[in-house]
Structure 1
Amino acid sequence: MTAPLTEGWPTSAAAAAQVTADKYGPPDEASPNTLIWHDRTPWKRVVVSRAIVPHRFPHEHVDVVQHVVEQPVPMERLADLARFNGSVVYDRTRGELSSHCEDEEGNILALNLAHDVVAHGMDPDAARRRCHEAIETRNSENRDPYLDALVFEPGRGPDPDEATIDDELRDRLRHALGGADRPA
C-alpha cells in the first residue's frame, strides 16, 4: 500500500510505513520524507519518517516511527523524563508526549514507562531496567503488558503558558517593528 510513497526510503523506514499502513490504513498526509496518520486511537498522531536516527537504548536500532499522545508532564519531572529515554519527547505548548522508536511496540513500552516516571515518580534508572526486562518477554508466555497497549488514558492537551508582556509593551514593540499589524 505504501510502496509508491516510500520508494527510495531506507528499508527500515519503508517497512515501518507498511506496518503502520496495514494497521491504520492509508496516511492522512504524505510528503517525500514523511507519512502522517492523525487521530488513530489512542494516538493523536503517528509519523513515519524516511530519516533514520541511530539509537542504542535499550538495544541498537534506528528510530523511524513516532507515536504522539496528549499528556501533561509536570515541569519538575522533565529532567527525569530526559534521563529515562532520549527518544521520549515532551512538547509543553502542544501538551504532547511522544516516543520515537523502530516500531509501535517500542513506543508503547517507552510511553508507558515515561508515564510511570512522570506520574508515579518511578526512578529513571528503574524505568530503564524495566524497559530491558519487558523486551526480554517479547516472545514469551509471560509477555509484559507494557508492550501491547497504553496502561494510562491520554489526558489534557495544550499548555499555552502565560503572557509576560503587557499590552503597553506589546504596542510599543509593534510600533518599533513597523506597524500595528505586525505581531509582537
Structure 2
Amino acid sequence: MKPELTEGWPTAATAAARAADQKYGPPDEASENTLIWHDRTPWKRVVVSRAMVPHRFPHSHVDVVEHVVAHRVPLERIGALAAFSGSVVYDRTRGELSSHCEDEEGNILALNLAHDVVTRGLDVEAARRRGHTAIESRDSADRDPYLDALVFEPGGGGDPDETTIDHELQDRLRQAMGGAVHVT
C-alpha cells in the first residue's frame, strides 16, 4: 500500500488499512480520511476510516474498519439487532448489514452473531455472551469458528419501502423541482 494513503493516520487505522490492502489489494477509492474496497467477496464493501470511534463491547477498543454484506433483516428483529451491538448497523433501503470494529475478525464475529439474532431468534444476551467468549478464545485451541468466516451466505435485496404520495402530488413535486425528482 502506498504509505501516503495513511500518512498522519492513527496507528489502529493504519494497521487496519494495511491488513485490508494485504488481503484485498489496493483500495478502489481513497480520500484523506477513508479507504474503500468494493466487491471483495463476501463483502459488498470494506471501509477503513481515519476516524476512531471508541467502543467498549466486548472489550475496550476503537472501531476503524467497516465490513458490509447484503442481508435482509425482518422488521420485527431490528430492535433486537440494535440491542445486540451499536456497531452493527442495518440499512433497510439498501439491504445492507454492516459492522464496525478494530479488525476484520471482530466484524466477522459481530455479523455472524447479528445473523443469528435476526434469523434464528438468538437471544440478545446470549449473543453478547458468545461475543465475549469468542474474543477471549482468539488465541486458544478452542477458538470460536465465528471469528474466522461468515457462517451464512450474504444475500437479499433492499427494501424500497412503500409510496405514500399519490401520483398527482408526485407530478407537482417533479414540476416544482424542474423535473429532477424521480419517484416510482
Give the shorter-chain TM-score range: over 0.9
Deviation at 1:134, TM superposition (A): 0.7
CA distance in 2, matches of 1:155, 1:5: 32
Cα displacement string for residues 48-91 of structure 1 (whole angstroms, at most 9, x for unaligned residues): 00000000000000000000000000000000000000000000
Could you state the TM-score of these two structures normalised by the residue count of structure 1? 0.95
- After superposition, give the CA deviation of every residue in 1:119-148 in whole Å (9 maximum; x if it has no partner): 000111110000001111111111100000
Per the alignment, in what secondary structure is the counterpart of residue 32 of structure 2? coil
Deviation at 1:182, TM superposition (A): 3.5
Structure 2: runs of 5 or more not aligned:
none
Residue 10 of structure 2: aligned partner: 10
RMSD: 1.2
**Residue ranges of structure 1 left out of the alignment (5+ in a row):** none
TM-score of the superposed pair, with normalisation by structure 2 = 0.95
State the shift of 1:160 in Å. Answer: 1.2
Measured against aligned partners, the alpha-carbon deviations of 1:76-108 in whole angstroms (never above 9, x if no partner) come to 000000000000000000000000000000000
Deviation at 1:158?
Answer: 1.6
**Alpha-carbon distance, 1:170 to partner:** 1.1
Is 1:101 the counterpart of 2:74? The answer is no
Question: For the structure 1 residues 174 and 106, does the alpha-carbon distance in structure 2 shift closer, same or farther, using more than 3 Å as the test?
Answer: same
Does the alignment pair 1:134 with 2:166?
no
Q: Which runs of 4+ in 1 moved over 3 A?
A: none
Quick one: which amino acid aligns to residue 156 of structure 1?
G
1:99–1:107 contact (8 Å) kept in structure 2: yes
Residue type at the aligned position of 1:183:
V
Aligned to 2:57: 57
Counting only pairs closer than 5 Å after superposition, residues 19-168 of structure 1 correspond to structure 2 as 19-168=19-168
1:183 match: 181
Specify the SS of the correspondent of 1:4.
helix
Q: Give the whole-Å Cα distance in 2 for the aligned partners of 1:148 and 1:178.
A: 50
Deviation at 1:173, TM superposition (A): 3.0
User: Is the alpha carbon distance of 1:167 and 1:79 closer, same or farther for their aligned partners in structure 2, counting shifts above 3 Å?
Assistant: same
Offset of residue 166 of structure 1: 1.6
Q: After the TM superposition, which of the residue ranges 166-175 and 58-67 deviates more from structure 2? A: 166-175
SS of the residue 1:5 aligns to: helix
Give the C-alpha shift of residue 163 in structure 1: 1.1
Secondary structure of the structure 1 residue equivalent to 2:14: helix
| Letter of the structure 1 residue corresponding to residue 146 of structure 2 | Y
| Superposition deviation, residue 18 in structure 1 | 0.4
Q: Percent identity?
A: 75
